A and B are shown apart, each in its own frame.
Chain A
Amino acid sequence: MDKLSILAASGLRGRLEALDVLANNLANSATSGFKADNELYSTYAGEASESMMGGVMSALPDVKGRWTNFQQGTLELTGNPQDVAIAGQGFFTVKSPTGPLYSRDGHMKVAKDGSLTNADGYPMLDSSGKGITLVASQAFEVATNGQVRQGGQAVGQLAVVKFDKPDALEKTGYSYFKANETTGKPVPATDADIHQGKIEASNVAPAESAVRLVSLMRQAEFLQRAITMGADMSKRAIEDVGRVGS
């Protein structure tokens, strides 16, 4: 294949992957605590492409990764004392069967035995890595520093943590993030405020997404035309060469 077609085809593939990312963002515009993803392009220059193309147009655009936009979502007032939201950087820590998971989704529940869990029933961890147990039938308050109080007495401290490299956090679905070697160890987030009775809305910006959608479509159209153009040129070259030969 000619250089133009290869380049354009790889660009087109990139746009299709970008559309996948955008579709997921828009689908989650109502997911509390959701953080929008953006794709990361890089130019790929492999050995094969260099020998094939002679180094002139050796760099192919490629979707190489994604970065998560950790910008603060709007805090929505729900009036439910079991809802908490984080203003600032940080994540709630929950204990899942597969290890600790981190989330910005602050829908909490009080289990039958009085333990404070998230919406999926995973215990909300306190700063010492243990669960928080409440007197089940009593109301509780969460202070801005994350301290959980019942009847004026402190019963626990919600673990709100942040990471060195939050961009490397792995999204595991159901509003969770998972740490790995690259993210670094979780450290207490000291500058984050906890708000009770509020929920952080998804930070997907609809207007921006709409613009991106249109530009992706136009770019794909343009690249498709480029591929067609490349194919037409090859076709003409083959036909013309054929005519000269006869």
Chain B
Amino acid sequence: MIRALFSAASGMTAQQLNVDNIAHNLANANTAGYKTRRAQFQDLLYQSMIQPGASAGQQTSIPTGLQLGLGTRASSNEILFTQGNFAATENPMDVVIQGRGFFQVRTTNGELAYTRAGSFHTDRDGNMVTSDGDPLEPQITIPSDAQSITIAPDGTVSYKQPNQTASQIAGQLQLALFANPAGLDGLGKNLYKPTDASGDPQVGQPGGQEGIGALLQGYTEQSNVSVVEEFINLIVSQRAYEANSKVVKAADEMYQQVNNLSTR
């Protein structure tokens, strides 16, 4: 009895978390470079009332046993790093990665962080920075009078200065690749930090190592949230919550009936 109540409660908690997750995804449906998070669930422990395969007599054994499950739990909400759509922006400082790589940026506390959001700007010293002002690593500096900035598929940033015909090279963007990007630690503001689960970053040139991805200038990578899918998940989640709450109600009513037995 109590088992049924707790199982149902665990189901409700899990669905609540699922809805939190869906809400977060939908809130970021328009965040460039955002990657969908998906909650995953596992069943909880089982209480063995009769062990499967236990002997029921000298000749026979119970084929299946009686195991009562104790509900569910949310095991993780992993990040899905599928490629988002590309949106043309005409801005020469917008770049997308056509692959699995990440841009390296140095955050204000001096540590390296990784991002897929390739909307860059220049700060007052001419350094290429993210929209939060974090400089790229390695640092790339573009003079203030530079014109027609080009970012090549291999990450080479070049520009032309007024009254010059030859273009100058400012530097080369580097990308990092992770063995298990789903294990990255999300820091917010589109930044990720490597963990033991993600593995160490393997830095390489865009378009070089297999899968790292070439760059494409003048586009931003939109979030990979599928609004339709999220809404369907929302409905499914809501219904599952409802079903679990019905179990709570049923368990309560049956409990009440048992209680009534003794008070008659």
**Using a CB–CB distance below 8 Å, which chain A residues touch chain B?**
12, 15-17, 19-32, 34, 37, 39-40, 63-68, 78-80, 82, 105, 107, 109-112, 114, 119-120, 136-139, 151, 165, 167-175, 180-183, 206, 209-210, 213, 216-217, 220-221, 224, 227-228, 231
Partner among B39, B45, B211, B246 whose Cβ is within 8 Å of the Cβ of A138 = B211
Contacts of A112 in B (CB 8 A): 179-180, 196-200
Number of interface residues of B (CB under 8 A): 77
Q: List 29 A-B contacts (CB under 8 A).
A: A16-B258, A19-B247, A22-B247, A26-B7, A26-B240, A27-B10, A27-B11, A27-B72, A30-B240, A37-B69, A40-B64, A65-B50, A65-B63, A65-B65, A65-B66, A66-B65, A78-B80, A107-B78, A109-B197, A137-B202, A168-B52, A170-B52, A171-B46, A174-B42, A174-B75, A180-B52, A216-B254, A217-B254, A224-B261
Which chain A residue lies CB-closest to B39?
A: A30
Task: Provide the bound-state CA to CA distance between A119 and B180, in Å.
Answer: 11
Contacts of B18 in A (CB 8 A): 30
* Contact count A vs B, C-beta below 8 Å: 230
Contacts of A181 in B (CB 8 A): 53
**B249-264 interface bits toward A, Cβ cutoff 8 Å, 1 = contact, 0 = none:** 0110110011011001
**Using a CB–CB distance below 8 Å, which chain B residues touch chain A?**
1, 3-5, 7-8, 10-11, 14-15, 18, 38-46, 48, 50-53, 61-72, 75-76, 78, 80-82, 100, 177-180, 182-183, 196-200, 202, 209-212, 236-237, 239-240, 243-244, 246-247, 250-251, 253-254, 257-258, 260-261, 264
Residues B180 and A20 in contact, CB atoms below 8 Å apart:
no
- The list of the 8 closest CB pairs from A to B, nearest first, reads A27-B11, A24-B69, A136-B179, A182-B53, A23-B7, A23-B4, A173-B45, A224-B257
